[in-house]
Amino acid sequence: MPLLVMKFGGTSVADLDRIANAAAKVQREVERGYDVIVIVSAMSGKTNELVGWVEQTSPLYDAREYDAVVASGENVTAGLMALRLQEMGVPARSWQGWQVPINTTSAHGSARFVDIPRANIDAKFAEGMKVAVVAGFQGLSPEGRITTLGRGGSDTTAVAFAAAFAAERCDIYTDVDGVYTTDPRVSSKARKLDKIAFEEMLELASLGAKVLQTRSVELAMRYNVRLRVLSSFEDTDENSGTLVCGEDEIMESKAVSGIAFSRDEAKITLFTIEDRPGVASAIFGPLAEAGVNVDMIVQNISEKDYDEHHSGAVTDMTFSCPINQVARAQKALEDAKAADLIRYDELIIDTDVAKVSVVGIGMRSHAGVAARMFDALAAENINIKVITTSEIKISVLIDRKYMELAVQALHDAFGLEKAA
């Protein structure tokens, strides 16, 4: 039988009525002739509640017991979904991570997949089971302990099962009906995309679009798992939602497919540092050790002399990072200066910036994308602080107060309200 993977997020299984609604969608796919693996998240809010209980009980908790507690949310949902399907006459069984088994590393709280053996689930399908309801977000360590997979774990679980079982498709049911050209709450002209390439989705996810987690898109691209994003709360058919697929399935692409943005950015500049080999390593090494996620980097060359302690070329270094990592970044740089690993005259932090990006595989074959982007921002009198580019992306850092205006201006400039 052809096999389908269906994943339901926390809002899609938030209560018994929503679990029943999700079960009805699963039943329809069974009636179409599929064997189905359903991946479920914990009911909305339950994971945060469980984490809170752990932290109240033991602030310096044992990570192994943290995972044992937090993984239980998905177990409850899986059992309830299997019971609902059985009540509807669909042969279904729930599976916890250790029963499959979903083999992972031992990194509790952020485990990675090692492999997913098919034998146990395949045997039950052979016996007449039509639906395997698997608890997402969890697995089994080599030591036989329950592990959890960290942020986006259930999406990643779904993609991993689709790859392991050679599923026809992996359907991700959520509270939105697909992937849009930008956030509809920012631009009323945002349009739902019928298809988007893995690379574009990966860029959008990493740039702040919260429809899919980056890890799940990376895994889908690696194993060529066709993903479909669609709403749990609407009637759907085989043409609903947005298909995330290989570039070869997309006939012609516009230069830009979407506009992504992130409000929670900060810009940090180090003034008058030595312009010498190894200085970048001396700056970004301590930042990496402190767990700071550095994004955009710009170096400005200056021929100005150093102060009385040094002479020679100096430079300024600017980079961006998430705003909640600024304190860590500042401490890492100040500690490195105190240890005489780096020298700088001044450290300036700007926490009032936002990142706006245009993304599209069509950039490879369309000239003038950067010029059009900069013209659109200039027309709105929006100053650009930092620019970075890749083959399919251009990102700029601007004052946060202009973020929504920039998104709307770029959406209009690239005509994203119209299909290709």
Within this chain, domains 3-248 and 259-414 share the same CATH topology: no
Cβ neighbour number for residue 133 with a 10 Å cutoff: 26
3-state secondary structure of 177: coil
Give yes or no for a contact between 81 and 22, defined as CB atoms under 8 angstroms apart. Answer: yes
Burial of 277 (0-12, 13-18, 19+ CB in 10 A): exposed
Say how far apart CA 358 and CA 246 lie, in whole Å: 20
Which H or E run contains 228?
strand 227-231
Say how far apart CA 359 and CA 223 lie, in whole Å: 22
Say how far apart CA 109 and CA 145 lie, in whole Å: 12
Domain boundaries of the chain, sorted by first residue = 3-248, 259-414
Say how far apart CA 57 and CA 67 lie, in whole Å: 14
Q: Where are the beta strands (DSSP E) in 41-156?
A: 92-95, 103-104, 113-115, 131-135, 138-140, 146-148
In sequence order, the β-bridge partners of residue 354 are 398
Known binding residues: 7-10, 47, 74, 174-175, 180, 185, 210-211
Position 252 scores a pLDDT of 65
- Residue 36 carries which DSSP code? E
Residue matched to tokens 């059992």: 79
Known binding residues for ATP: 7-10, 174-175, 180, 185, 210-211
CATH topology for 259-414 is VC0802-like (3.30.2130)
Say how far apart CA 409 and CA 341 lie, in whole Å: 44
Known binding residues for substrate: 47, 74
Q: Which of 418, 400, 417 is nearest to 408 (CA)?
A: 417
Residues in Cβ contact with 355 at an 8 Å cutoff, skipping those fewer than 6 apart = 207, 208, 261, 262, 265, 295, 296, 320, 395, 396, 397
Position 274 scores a pLDDT of 84
Q: Within its chain, how far is the Cα of 250 from the centroid?
A: 22
* DSSP track, 347-394: EEEEEEEEEEEEE-GGGGT-S-HHHHHHHHHHHTTPPP-EEEEETTEE
Q: Report the sign of the C-alpha dihedral through residues 292, 295, 298, 299, in that order.
A: positive
Q: How many residues does the chain have?
A: 420
Q: Residue 53, CB half-sphere, CA atoms under 13 Å: how many?
A: 14
Position 237 scores a pLDDT of 75
In sequence order, the β-bridge partners of residue 5 are 37, 170
- Please state the pTM of the whole predicted model: 0.83
Q: What is the pLDDT along the chain (420 residues), one digit of tens a residue?
A: 899 999 999 999 999 999 999 999 999 999 999 999 999 999 999 999 999 999 999 999 999 999 999 999 999 999 999 999 999 999 999 999 999 999 999 999 999 999 999 999 999 999 999 999 999 999 999 999 999 998 778 999 999 999 999 999 999 998 888 889 898 888 889 899 999 999 999 888 877 666 788 889 999 999 999 999 998 888 877 778 899 999 888 876 778 999 999 888 999 999 988 888 888 999 999 999 999 999 899 887 654 544 444 556 788 999 999 999 999 999 999 999 999 999 899 999 999 999 999 999 888 878 889 999 999 999 999 999 999 988 899 999 999 999 999 999 999 999 999 876
CATH class assigned to 3-248: alpha beta
Give yes or no for a contact between 353 and 298, defined as CB atoms under 8 angstroms apart. Answer: no
Say how far apart CA 89 and CA 92 lie, in whole Å: 9
Question: Residue-wise over 57-67: b if at least 16 C-beta within 10 A, else e?
Answer: eeeeeebeebb
Residues in Cβ contact with 347 at an 8 Å cutoff, skipping those fewer than 6 apart = 268, 269, 270, 271, 330, 333, 334
Radius of gyration of the CA atoms of the chain, in A: 24
In sequence order, the β-bridge partners of residue 318 are 269, 298
Question: Residue-wise over 292-312: b if at least 16 C-beta within 10 A, else e?
Answer: bebbbebeeeeeeebeeeeee
Burial of 282 (0-12, 13-18, 19+ CB in 10 A): middle
Q: Which amino acid is it at 162?
A: A
3-state secondary structure of 93: strand
